Amino acid sequence: MKNSKPQILPSTVKILTGLGENIKLARLRRKLSAEQVAERANISRPTLLSIEKGMPGVAMGSYAQVLFVLNLEKDLLKVAADDTLGRKLQDAELTVKERAPKK
């Protein structure tokens, strides 16, 4: 079996593109060059440019490092903080398995 990349949904690509644009705007507002941010985040400049384009192949840790350099790392804590669906499932007392089923 050969390794294949997971398929990325168009809606996910759109979200990542928006995230990349927001990161780029944050960098520009701070008047930091791509080279400065890449150096401070300990990543290459092409990796930073991939982040700013919202490329899905970039490691999550690299996104986190760039957000740290821009002093926006606390925004990551907001991800899934208000889990409306999860709370509704919990309130309905539906059983949720610990692990996803194997294929």
Q: Residue 94: its pLDDT value, please?
A: 59
Interaxial angle between packed helices 60-69 and 45-53, expressed in degrees from 0 to 180 and rounded to the nearest 10: 100
Q: Tell me the per-residue pLDDT of 18-44, one tens digit each, with 9 for 90 and over.
A: 999 999 999 999 999 999 999 999 999
Domains of the chain: 10-73 (1.10.260.40)
Dihedral of CA 71/31/29/58: which sign? Answer: negative
Q: Where is 20: in which H helix or E strand? A: helix 10-29
Nearest Cα to Cα of residue 67 among 57, 81, 77: 77
pLDDT tens-digit readout, 48-88: 999 999 999 999 999 999 999 999 999 888 888 888 888 88
What tokens were used for 80? 């899934």
Among 74, 76, 71, 63, residue whose Cα is nearest residue 26: 71
